[in-house]
A and B are shown apart, each in its own frame.
Chain A
Amino acid sequence: MWWKTTFRRNRSAGVANQTALDEAFLRRLERLSLNASRMLRGGLSGVHASTRRLPAPTFSDHRSYSTSDDLRYVDWNAYGRQEELFVKLGETEQDVPVHLLLDRSRSMDYGTGDMHKLHYGRMLLAALGYLALSGGDALTATAFDGAAQPVFGPQRSKAAAVSLLRYASSIVPGAESRIETTIQQYTRPRPGGMVVVISDLWSVSDVDRVLRLAQPPRWQLLLLHLLHPEELEPAMQGDIEIEDSEQGDYITLSADAETLARYRERLNQWCGAIDTACQRRGASYARISTDMPLERAVIPFLRQRQVLRGT
């Protein structure tokens, strides 16, 4: 009856606790991999292309034999002609450290249901993390805010997928965050790798500095910019007070059509500036609206932006 639902609280409001990915979706994810830069340095067990040349069956160059080289890669034909031992070199495939950084600041606690930004970010983290694990990459996932948080990984086996999903489900909204500080603290002690930052970037005061902190060739930075549909197209109207979810302060504004148009224009300028900065610094940028279905819209969109590759 209609009144039974009237007194029921809206259980879909806020962030959902469960982060579940469809099994078929996970199988389809296995056919994809992160498009890691060749310049990155990782292990030799991955599937990513590398610029390193090592003795390998697939020929690309020669070098002189040195002690302890594997005799299987000696080019005996070249020895017959040159009477000198050469070892065949080939392009090797490597695994890269993948670092998934999910912003769990208060600004990410926005929206309801499946369009809740942090929930959407957790789903994205789980999907990309599973994709990294299935590609044999060393995955490290961290949900960050202003304080130190537990870290998932590094893990490089699909067997850790369940742990990854559990970790993603445990992420709850935190306090105020500073991305610059987090990136700096994260990248300084690590040798390099692919860094995927999932954030609404509202706490970024200087995006160029962030990009400098994780710039190639040591790092490959992917900025996944999560925005709620109401951030893209505000539906507010009339005289309102707008409250900052992180700071708690508010301003008074008349949200008329002209103001909303200015907002949209300014937002696009801001996103465009970030995109331009990313292109200039060799990073990848993708703006994702949380009303986009993860599999049918976001994954194709990331493939289009060459963040992912595969079929």
Chain B
Amino acid sequence: MSFLLPIGLLTLLVLPIVALLHLIQQRRDRVRVPSLQIWRELQRQNVQQKPRRLPLTLLLLLHLLLAALLAVALGQPFLQAIRGQAQHIVLVIDTSTSMAATDESPSRLAAAKAEAERIITSLRRGDSAALIELSAQPRIVAQGTSADMAVLLAELRTLKAGGPDGDLAAAMSIAPATAQPKAAIQIVVLTDGSFRAPDTATVSGSMEWRTFGNAGDNVAIVALAARQLRDGRQQLYARVANSGTTPIARTLQLNLDGERVASEPIRLAPGGEAEWSWPLPSGTELASASLSGSDLQPLDDQAAIVLGGTAQTRVLLVTSSDTPVERALRAQRGFAVQRITAAEYQASAAADLVVFVGDVPAQLPSAPVLVVAPPRDQELIEVADEVLSPRTAAANDDRFAAIDWKPVTFERIPRITPPAWADVAVSSGDVPLVLTGQFNNNPIVIWAFDPSASNLPNRLAFPLLTAATARQLLPQAHDRLLVGASAPFALRAPDGQVIAAGDRLAQVGIYQTASGNGALAVNAIDDSEANLQQRPAPAITEVPRQVATDDAPVGRELWQPLVVAALLVLIGEWLYSHRASFQRSGRRKQRAQV
């Protein structure tokens, strides 16, 4: 409780005055008698007078209470807990792979979520909270006031562990954005200490650390990769590391296309590592490695890699005329290209990739799509009549950054307005050249230009652009994703659950494409996340946030109930003072009735 007018409390000085008045009143309590004749004699007989004391009468207590209530009311008290400076709590929850460790029961993340739930449910009226997932790309999961507690808790329960170290600096930078301007912020980081953080950082508001997990031992597969040898065969490489403090003895098992082909005993000292490599038989599609036994982190005890094998990618090219795109597609390894006309196209045609050149059907297939030189009369994307001839192109996406665009010139390019579902991957100034995105849960790439109307087919950039586009649209052999990453396209998880494009990949294992012709390995391979040892918290400087002290308080002022209470006390005092009159009146009535 605070006071808006503390100087009003000076009126509390009236309390001793009230007490003094009562003392004086007691001294002047005079009794009239017919004569002092006998009383004087008693006084002369040295009747001992007791020292005067403050009479603790009910009337005195009522007067003191009345004065105190009015004095406190003059101070204009109000409850600080519901003032405008309500607290804003930012819960930053680490969801990296190490949070799946089971040294906390049932896991570090579960313990962190329980703590976060406790904090959320203890929000006071007027408080607000925000939930930030501390991952490689921190995001605001939910935010709201105490009234939105159910939403916050529901979003909290959806968090799952998996992913590389979180970016604490990024999380700290977005935390103030969740609060009202000049609101007091308290940032609570719930983590096991495994995150990327600068040596020093500054945060606006107060900061509190809640660490989970003990210094647990862990053995992890920290590398699983395949490479093609000069003779055309493939070789598999694996590395196992012991990040614990005790020696371990386990077994590394290698499976190729579901059959165990090797079992390597492992003995590792604390901090030790061991490597293996195996030649792979031709046509191997899937290789996986796993560690026997169990430890605190089960996610990194297994790893897999999709090798591709001999399966070919079915490409359906829909074009009404010859196009250099066909030549570029056929040049891609493993592509089996089938060319049809637009009239022959059916949306239900089985294909891993459908390429439309100069045409966009009314109904797109449920497969990755490449659209080349979209016409104006279609509904997929808005194509203007304006024709441009851009000269210099530049990549906005890392996937297309390796392409040398400088020698490429375009003659005629219609202006395309990028839709909301697409990003501009390559552009020339403000002219989009390549768009990427997700449409109906399928990846789609749009080449705004017609390669035949440029010098692109004669440049090295053309097959590179085609390969980059294919990599954007299709799961590639040897592609590996870390758990916690976003799905590049619709996938089916190892447990059969359908994962929409952009959703989080929370499980490790082999994901199948929606068409069933491709696979993608999702692993928890991360040196940093495999180390479950506790790490010191980074040095983060807390900068006091300028709170809105000059704002008009919105908290409930208490002077009104205090004045009402004072009024009630006054009535009580009046009734008490006149109780003798009431008694006399009652006696008179009784006599009158008699």
Contact = CB atoms under 8 A, between A and B. Distances in A.
A270 B34 CA distance: 15
A104 interface: no
A85 B42 CA distance: 72
B31 A239 contact: no
Nearest to B35: A202
B192 to A, nearest CB: 74
B28 A239 contact: no
B40 interface: yes
Size range of the interface on A?
35 or more
A191 B280 CA distance: 162
Given A259-B47, A262-B47, A6 B31 contact: no
B30 A263 contact: no
Interface string A49-81: 000000000000000000000000000000000
A243 B52 contact: no
Given A6-B578, A239-B27, A239-B50, A262 B36 contact: no
A185 interface: no
B420 interface: no
Contacts of B43: 251-253
Would you call the interface of chain B mostly helix, strand, loop, or mixed? mixed
A266 B44 CA distance: 13
A272 to B, nearest CB: 13
Interface in B93-152: none
B39 A253 contact: yes
Given A239-B26, A241-B28, A259-B47, A266 B34 contact: no
Interface string A115-143: 00100000000000000000000000000
A253 B31 CA distance: 10
A12 B42 CA distance: 33
Contacts of B39: 242, 251, 253, 263
Nearest to B38: A266
Interface string B5-48: 00000000000000000000011111111111111111101011
A10 B581 CA distance: 8
A291 interface: no
Given A202-B37, A228-B34, A270-B38, A252 B49 contact: yes
B45 A244 contact: no
Contacts, number: 103
B587 to A, nearest CB: 10
A228 to B, nearest CB: 7
Contact of A253 (B42, B584, B588): B42
A254 B47 contact: yes
A162 to B, nearest CB: 28
Would you call the interface of chain A mostly helix, strand, loop, or mixed? mixed
A77 B32 CA distance: 73
A117 B581 contact: no
B55 interface: yes
Given A2-B582, A238-B26, A243 B48 contact: no
A239 B29 CA distance: 8
Given A107-B34, A239-B26, A239-B50, 8 more contacts: A6-B582, A6-B585, A10-B584, A238-B26, A241-B28, A243-B30, A252-B43, A267-B38
29 contacts: A5-B585, A6-B582, A110-B32, A200-B34, A203-B35, A231-B34, A238-B29, A239-B26, A239-B27, A240-B31, A242-B30, A242-B33, A242-B36, A242-B39, A243-B30, A243-B33, A244-B35, A245-B35, A249-B36, A251-B40, A253-B49, A254-B48, A254-B50, A262-B45, A262-B47, A263-B39, A266-B41, A266-B42, A270-B38
Interface of A: 2, 5-6, 10, 12, 106-108, 110, 117, 200, 202-203, 228, 231, 234, 236, 238-247, 249-254, 256, 258-259, 262-263, 266-267, 270
